[in-house]
Amino acid sequence: MFLSELLASSLRMAVPILLTALGAVFTERAGVVNIGLEGMMIVGSFWGALGSYYYGPYFGLLLAMAAGMFLALIHAVNTVTFRVDQIVSGVAINILAYGSCRFLSQAIFKMATTSPHVAGLPKIDIPVLAGIEFLKPLVSGVSPIIILALLLVPLTRFVINRTVFGLRLRSVGENPLAADTLGINVFRMKYAGVLLSGMLAGLSGAYLALEHTGMYVEGMTQGQGFIALAAMIFGNWEPAGALWAALLFGFSEALSFRVVEGGAIPYQFIKMIPYVLTLAVLAGVVRKSTPPAADGIPYERGMK
Amino acid sequence: MKRKYLITVMRILAPVLAIVLSAFISSIVILAIGKSPWQVFYTIFRFSLSRLDSVAIILYNATPLIFSGLAVSLGFRMGLFNIGVEGQYLIGAFFAALAGFTLKGLPAVIHLPLVILCGALGGMLWSFIPIYLKVKRGVHEVISTIMLNYISYSLIHYLIADVFMDRTQKLLDGLGSMLARTPKLPPSALMPKLHGLLGLFGIELPRHVYLNWFFPLGLLMAGLTYYLLMYTPFGFELRAVGQNQEAARTAGIKPERVYMVGFLLSGAVAGLVGLSDLLSYFGYMDLDFPRNYGFDGIAVALIGQNNPFGIIVSAMLFGFLKRGAEGIQTLLNVPMDTIVILQAVMIMSIVVITKVMNDYIKRLEKKEDVRVCSSQNSSLQV
């Protein structure tokens, strides 16, 4: 029972990381580094709560994705159209998200840091499996977004590896000049990658507010946008890799809550696991990772 | 000649335009919640500048931002992005606090410099990890410093709440619970306020103002940074690597060495960011120790165009806005986070405006080149 509860809790922790990491796969495979994902999760959590508060959870989800995409659009205009430094733009996006959500929360809910309780989506019991006692924590009362996130992994993999859109997206991230020569609209593909990442990060934020906590709380993303970037790197820029990394990081999150009483290892050290592992992967200690060849480099026509 | 003139104009014009543009966009935000932008801006100015103690608070607010902006700009100057100032200053502040409360009985003339040195050392140590990983293993410094920021949050939490927590705190009437904080630093480790000096000029500041000697130290640090960048061989190498790494290598400069030394310097300056708060306002380090100075430093460096003196001006601008934000929240009931939005828009507009201007200059140059070439051709034909 303890084990299956721990696994269930790991899965719940992994979902926001996974959704954002899948978004990160889209934007980075298109060659745009997006450290604004954290901010896009923040606006997702706020607008998700706001939408759900007034018009119910489904509207909340839509609003959250739209808000994430709006910030992503700003990032795309900055980095693809104006070709400014992608990191600087991402930092500004994060500050904008933090400031605007506090501002709006103060203006609408009259509190800078929390919203009232909001409704989530109806929970699902998975038929047949829910009857088995051992699996109960894992398969009963499951949020539909968890199922959606898991389904998105093969879907993202299919889109990126098996469709024309995916091929073009990857070509733009590996060699934009060659892609441009072949008549692919480099700028449009990069916009698509960034916007998709904003949509998924917004959804992930909405999951936190609607499904995980039942309200918006300032700082509820806790840097999970950055953990998601780490998960994507750890997963070697692949959707399936991102899934395993997200599960690993979710597991360490879930574990950190449970060892507070045990006390053998301070829980702060368990919280460090995702970051330390990512450093280790990047340094090539655990295994080699290879980013897309033109990742982070703005594309300009007429440049070699 | 024309180009040099244009660049100077651009360097001054770009931040001004960015400030105007972001003020415009914030006005829309203010209008959206049904308040008057004019009244908000008027209040910001009146509240911040009408009283002497308020001006002193602005300078106090600007102090950490000067150090933070300088630390970030040192990275930018050599083409590296030090997002890790955030973690570096927390570790630096902790090292300083540690040296403060463990060493006892030292006279202030030894203790205080030692504490400051430990702050710089802590920041340097934390900046060594990402730059080592970059130079030796090719790890991009942006990702590694973001990871290290989060590691430092947890590490500091552990050190303050578990290892070095002050368990001898006296509780008022035995009520409440103990704060997760380090022991208090003895007076010999604390930075004196500027009240004494200003008193000589007949300026009397109230006690609730914490403006201290770190402010002049920050100005001095900006001057030193300028000297280092412009008048020393290492500064020349640093700028050369920042402008074109491969060209610098061809010229016999080792970029790896410059990265290593430059980043450690950036980390050392970052280690000083939190000390103005630690050694004057707090006197101990707790879990509420101010955050985000590292990220603010990025905005300060960009608005200051990575020029040490520009950074002083932009740090004061942000100190002024922070003070004004308190004013509009208390007097007009406009959320103080208006200023955070303003800051974000400012960062975006400064980089976009600089980029557009740069492209414009490049195009002008190309035209000029073509004209020069064609006139040479024609003269050859004659």
Q: Is residue A253 part of a domain?
A: no
Domain residue limits at A182: 17-121+140-225
* Reported confidence tier of residue A1, pLDDT bands at 50, 70, 90: low
- pLDDT value for B382: 37
**Does B347 contact A88 at a Cβ distance shorter than 8 Å?**
yes
* Reported confidence tier of residue B262, pLDDT bands at 50, 70, 90: very high
**For testing the chain B interface, which of A268, A273, A286, A304 should be mutated: the one with the most B CBs within 10 Å?**
A268
Q: Is residue A7 part of a domain?
A: no
pLDDT digit string, tens, across residues B281-325 = 999 999 889 988 999 999 999 989 999 999 999 999 999 999 999
Instruction: Write out chain A residues lying below 8 Å of B302, CB-based.
Output: 88
Q: Is residue A98 part of a domain?
A: yes
Q: Find, in chain A, the residue whose alpha carbon is nearest to that of B295.
A: A91
- pLDDT value for A261: 59
Q: Is residue A191 part of a domain?
A: yes
In chain A the first and final C-alpha atoms are separated, in Å, by 60
Mean pLDDT of A180-188: 93
CA distance to partner chain B, nearest, from residue A145 (Å): 27
CA distance to partner chain A, nearest, from residue B187 (Å): 32
Q: Find, in chain A, the residue whose alpha carbon is nearest to that of B157.
A: A268
pLDDT digit string, tens, across residues B354-366 = 888 888 887 877 7
What is Dmax (Cα atoms) for chain B?
A: 100
pLDDT for A303 beyond 60: no
pLDDT digit string, tens, across residues A120-172 = 888 887 776 666 767 777 777 788 999 999 999 999 999 999 999 999 999 99
- pLDDT value for A260: 61
- pLDDT value for A107: 86
The total domain count for chain A is 1
Q: Is residue A2 part of a domain?
A: no
- Residues A298 and B115: their CA atoms lie apart, in Å, by 44
Mean pLDDT of B104-133: 94
- pLDDT value for B277: 95
Instruction: Write out chain B residues lying below 8 Å of A88, CB-based.
Output: 81, 298, 302, 347, 351
pTM, to two decimals: 0.90
- Residues A246 and A252: their CA atoms lie apart, in Å, by 10
**For testing the chain B interface, which of A282, A288, A289, A304 should be mutated: the one with the most B CBs within 10 Å?**
A282
Q: Find, in chain B, the residue whose alpha carbon is nearest to that of A279.
A: B144
Query: Do the beta carbons of residue A11 and residue A3 sit within 8 Å?
Result: no
pLDDT for B380 beyond 60: no
* Reported confidence tier of residue B223, pLDDT bands at 50, 70, 90: very high
Q: Which residue, B214, B215, B225, is CA-closest to B71?
A: B225
Q: Is residue A182 part of a domain?
A: yes
**Does B144 contact A282 at a Cβ distance shorter than 8 Å?**
yes
pLDDT digit string, tens, across residues A210-239 = 998 899 998 888 889 998 998 998 888 999
Q: Give me B305's structure tokens.
A: 């165009």
Asked if B155 is an interface residue toward chain A (Cβ–Cβ < 8 A), one would say: yes
Q: Is residue A10 part of a domain?
A: no
Asked if B173 is an interface residue toward chain A (Cβ–Cβ < 8 A), one would say: no
pLDDT for B155 beyond 90: yes
- Residues B240 and B56: their CA atoms lie apart, in Å, by 38
**Does A84 contact B148 at a Cβ distance shorter than 8 Å?**
no
In chain B the first and final C-alpha atoms are separated, in Å, by 28
Identify which of A94, A103, A275 has the shortest CB distance to residue B151. Answer: A275
Mean pLDDT of A197-208: 97
Q: Find, in chain A, the residue whose alpha carbon is nearest to that of B149.
A: A275
* Reported confidence tier of residue A282, pLDDT bands at 50, 70, 90: confident
- pLDDT value for B381: 43
- pLDDT value for B364: 77
- pLDDT value for B95: 96
- Residues B210 and B266: their CA atoms lie apart, in Å, by 26
Q: Which residue, A74, A24, A301, is CA-closest to A176?
A: A301
pLDDT digit string, tens, across residues B196-212 = 888 888 788 888 889 99
